[in-house]
Chains A and B, each alone.
Chain A
Amino acid sequence: MMDESVSITQIVQRLKGTNLHSQLEKQAKECLHKPEIKLETLKDDVRRLLKASGWERKLQNAVYRELHILPPPGHPRAPPEHTKEPLAYMRKTQVNWEKRILKSLNSMCTELGIPLARKRPVAEQKELTNKWNEMGTDEPDLSKFRPVYAPKDFIEVLVGLKNPNNERSEDLTVRSHWGLIQVSLNVRDILQMVSLPFFISLPSIFLMSRHKELVSEQDSAAAQQYSRQGCPTGLRAQLWSLILNTTNDPEDITHYEQLKARVIHHDLLVDNLIYKDVKLTASNDDYYFVFEDYLYQVLLCFSRDTAVLEHFNYNCATPPKSCIQSKSGSEQCAVVYPPNGVIPFHGFSMYVAPLCFLYNEPSKLYSVFREMYIRYFFRLHSISSHPSGIVSLCLQFERLLQTHLPQLFYHLREIGAQPLRIAFKWIVRAFSGYLSTDQLLLLWDRILGYDSLEIVAVLATAVFVFRAENLMEVTSLASAEAVLADLSTLKVMPLLQIFLFATSV
C-alpha cells in the first residue's frame, strides 16, 4: 500500500507539469458553463462530462504510460543507483563499460582533431536547412570515423560478468550452465511465462472485430492487450502510437522542430557516427535503404533531445559526461555528451529503420522511436539484472536452448560454436535487419503487447530449434554461422508455435 501511494504521488507530480494537465484544467473550466452542471454535484458532474468527451481516457492513457516508465520501487533510504540496479557487480561492470566507451569517444575526438561540438557557420546552417530532406545525398568523408563499439565488443563484456560470491567451478556437469553467460539470474522458462497462450494467442473472431472500436475508443491498455495477437497491417501504426501514448499534437511538432533547429545550429561529433552507421547498415539493406533520409532526420534530433535523459531515472546506466569547449574558449566540463546521454553504436540506426514503414511524418516517426527507445531498446545495451535486460535475455536464450535441445547445445559447444555468439547480434537488435520487415513487425507487436523483450530470446531459441538438424551436421563456427545467416524467409509465429508445442509435450 505504501508503494502504491508513493507511485501515485510520483505520477501526479510528473503529470502536473504537462500539457495534458493544463488542457484538462481548461476543459474542466469550460464544463462549468454547461447547463447540466449543478453546484451540489459539481465534482461528479465535471467528471462525467470529462469522461463523455474522452478526456478521462486521455488521462488514463497518460497514467498508463507513466506506469511503464516508473522507476523501480526501492527503500526510501537506498541511493537511486541501488534501486535501479541492486546487484553491485552489475553496477560496477556497467560503470567500467561506460568509462571505456567514453574514453574511446574522447580519444577519437583528440586523434581526429574534431571538437565534440561545434557551432555551424551561417552559410553551413543555410545549406543544411535546404538539404534537410535529402541528407542522404551528402557524401561526407567518413573514413576516419569508426563506430565507438559494436555488438561484438559488448558481448565480451557480458561474457566477462562474474558474481564474486559464486565459486567458479571448472567441471562441466549436467547442472552447470554450458553457455557464455556466467551469472545466475532468475529467467523464466517457457512454462513460467504467462501461460502457454502467451505466444500462441490465435485471434478469436471476437477480438478481430474490435479493430474499429479500439481505434475510436483510444484506450492504450486495450490496444496493448490487442497487440498480443498481432496487429493488422493497416492499423498497426495507430495501435502502436496508442500503446505508446505518442501524439502528434502541436507541441510534439514544436518539440521536434526545436530539435531540428539544434541540429542546424550545432554540429556534433556523434553526428558522424550516425552517418557512418546509417551508411554501413540501413543503406545496404534491401528493405530500409529507401528511408535513409528519414533515419538522419530522426537520429540527429535524437542525439540532441535532453528529454531522453529522463529515462536514466530507471536505466541503470548513467549519462556520459565530457568536456566541451565553449565559445569563449574555456572548457566546460561534466557536460552530458551527447545531450541525450546515448552514445550510438554500430547498428543503432536499425532500431529506427523498421518504424519508417509505419510512419512517414518525421515528427511522428520521431515520437514513436523515442518512446520505443526509452521503454525497450535501451535495455539491450545496458548491463542490468532486469528481466528484459540484455544479460537476462542472453541467459534466457542459453538456458532455453540447453534445457530443450541439450544435444544440439553440447554439439555446438564442442565445435567451438557457442550459440550465443551467433544469436547475440539478433538479440541486441531485436532482430531488426535479420527478419523480413513484415515478420519483424509481428515480433515487435508482441514486445509491445507483453511489455517485455523476452520474446526476442524465445525467438532466438526457436530459430536454432528450427535449423537444429542442419546445425547438428556442422563442424565449425563458420558453418554454423552459414546455416543461420539468412533468416529472411522465416515466419515468426509458426516458428514460435512449433517450438512451444514441441517443448510442452
Chain B
Amino acid sequence: MAGKVKWVTDIEKSVLINNFEKRGWIQVTDSDDWNFYWMSIQTIRNVFSVDTGYRLSDDQMVNHFPNHYELTRKDLMIKNIKRYRKELEKEASPLAEKDENGKHLYLDFVPVTFMLPADYNLFVEEFRKSPSSTWIMKPCGKAQGKGIFLINKLSQIKKWSRDSQVENTNSEILVGLNNDNSQLFGIIDSPLHLLICTKGLCFVRYKLGFCRFCTVKYTPSTSELDNMFVHLTNVAIQKHGDDYNHVHGGKWTVSNLRLYLESTRGRDVTNHLFDQIHWIIVQSLKAVAPVMNNDKHCFECYGYDIIIDDKLKPWLIEVNASPSLTSSTANDRILKYNLINDTLNIVTPNGEIPDCRWNRSLPKEALGHYQVLYDEEQALSESAERDLRSRSGQLLGSKGSRSSSVRPFPATWK
C-alpha cells in the first residue's frame, strides 16, 4: 500500500502537527477517509458512542480506547484496583499479601481520597480518627492555580474555600502522611506511558519526564494563618505566579531527581523507588486490562501523576488520558515533540498506513525513549515454560526483588 497516511486532529498543537508533517502525512478532515485520528476525549466519546459512532475500518487508528476512562476517572480507577486486588486474593496470589494491620503489602498505592465538597462529612470522620495526621489537598478545575498544599486543621479547609471564592469546587483530599513534621518529597508529573493492543497487552514507559521537587519542610507548629498553607510545588513558581520562569518552568528532570536521590540516599533506595513507581504503573494497567475493550484500532498515552512521600514511597494520584501537549519551556517542547515522535514510531511503524488486521509485535529497535515495562506475549510464553518446571521458591520475596518470575521482561529500570 503505497499511499500516504491521512491524518486528522482536533487538537491544534504544534508538537503533534509537526510530527505528522515530518512524516509526509496528509491532513484531512474527519468527514474524509482518514487513517489516523489524534482526538480529544470529547471526540472519542462520539466516535465510539452507540448512536452516532461508527465502526473503524482496518486502516484506521485512534489514540484512545473507547473506555479509557476506566483508569482516568478516579472512582473507576479505585473500583478497578479494588476488584483486581480481590481477584488476586481469591487466587491466593502472593501479590495480594497483607501485613498484620490488613494493609496490602504490594498493592497499597492509592491513597484514601475524599472528594470535596461531596465527601466532606466522611472526611471529617476520618480526620477526627487521626487528628495529628497531615492531609494533602489537591484542587481541581478552576482552583488548580493554587497548587497542592498541606493541611492539618479543619479550619484550613474552610479558610481555603472562603478565600478561593469558587463555589462547589471539586477538590481531592488525600491521605499522604501520617506523622508530624512530614516532608513531602516530590511529585512526578506525567512520565508518559502507552498501552497498546496488538496481540495482547504491552506497556511501555517513557524514560524521560519532569517532576516538581519540594524543598519546603512543613512544620505543623506554624501558627500564622498564612503559613498554614505550605505550598508543595517548587516555591519559586508557586509564589510568583507572574514571575514564571521560562527557562525551567519550575520543572526538574526525572534524571536529576534520580541523581539527587542516588547521591543523597544511596543507589539501592533510589532503585527501589523507581521500581515501585514502575510497579504501580504496571499493576494499575493490569487492573484495568480486563475491562478495556481490546480494540486493535486503539492505543493510549496515559500520563501518571505520582506523589512521593518522605519515606520515598510513591502514591498514585491520578492518571490522565489527555496529557497536556502544551509546552511551557523549550525543554518541555522538545520532550513532548520527541514523545509524540517515539509514539508514532511504535504505533505506525515506518510511517505506513496502519493495518489492524495483523498482529504486530513491538518494534524493539524503534522504541526511542520508550522502554518496555510489560509484554504479555513474552510473559505468556515464559510462564508456559515455567509451568513445565516445578514451582521453585522463586516467587515474590521482598518488595525489592520484584524482577522475578512474575513479570519477566528484558528492560532495565533505568
Residues of A within 8 A of B (CB): 130, 133-134, 136-137, 139, 232-234, 236-237, 283-287, 289-294, 357-360, 437-438, 441
Contacts and interface: CB of A to CB of B under 8 A. Distances in A.
A380 B301 CA distance: 49
A285 B264 CA distance: 20
A290 B252 contact: yes
Given A136-B235, A136-B236, A284-B245, A290 B263 contact: no
Contacts of A291: 215
Given A136-B236, A137-B235, A438-B259, A359 B264 contact: yes
23 contacts: A130-B222, A133-B215, A133-B216, A134-B235, A136-B235, A137-B235, A137-B236, A139-B240, A233-B259, A233-B263, A234-B262, A234-B263, A284-B245, A286-B252, A287-B252, A289-B236, A289-B247, A293-B235, A357-B256, A359-B264, A437-B259, A438-B259, A441-B263
Interface string B372-407: 000000000000000000000000000000000000
Nearest to B251: A286
Given A136-B235, A137-B235, A293-B215, A286 B263 contact: no
A284 B247 contact: yes
A327 to B, nearest CB: 31
Contacts of B253: 286
Given A137-B235, A283-B236, A357 B263 contact: yes
B400 to A, nearest CB: 15
B242 to A, nearest CB: 11
Given A294-B215, A360-B264, A437-B256, A130 B248 contact: no
B120 interface: no
Contact of B245 (A133, A234, A283, A358): A283
Nearest to A438: B259
Interface of B: 213, 215-217, 222, 227, 234-236, 239-240, 243, 245, 247-248, 250, 252-253, 256, 259-260, 262-264, 266-268, 270, 331
B259 A134 contact: no
A240 to B, nearest CB: 10
A130 B227 contact: yes
A130 B227 CA distance: 10
B248 A284 contact: yes
B252 A233 contact: no
Nearest to B213: A290
User: Which 8 residue pairs spanning A and B have beta carbons closest together?
Assistant: A234-B267, A233-B262, A290-B213, A234-B266, A137-B239, A358-B263, A284-B247, A286-B248
A287 B257 CA distance: 10
A236 B239 CA distance: 34
Interface core residue of A133, A237, A290, A293 (most chain B CB under 10 Å):
A290
Given A284-B245, A286-B331, A289-B234, 16 more contacts: A134-B216, A136-B236, A137-B235, A137-B236, A137-B239, A234-B267, A283-B236, A286-B248, A286-B253, A286-B256, A289-B245, A290-B215, A357-B260, A360-B264, A437-B256, A437-B259
A437 B259 CA distance: 9
B225 to A, nearest CB: 13
Contacts of B263: 233-234, 236-237, 357-358, 441
A127 B141 CA distance: 34
Contact of A286 (B247, B259, B270): B247
Contacts of A134: 216, 235
A292 B248 contact: no
Contacts of A289: 234, 236, 245, 247-248, 250, 252
B9 to A, nearest CB: 30
Contacts of B268: 234
Contacts of B256: 286-287, 357, 437
Nearest to A358: B263
Contacts of B215: 133, 290-291, 293-294
Contact of A233 (B222, B247, B267): B267
A286 B330 CA distance: 11
A237 B268 CA distance: 15
B389 to A, nearest CB: 34
A293 B217 CA distance: 12
Interface core residue of B215, B227, B240 (most chain A CB under 10 Å):
B215
Contacts of B239: 137, 139
A128 B234 CA distance: 20
A358 B264 contact: yes
A357 to B, nearest CB: 5
Contacts of B331: 286
Nearest to B331: A286
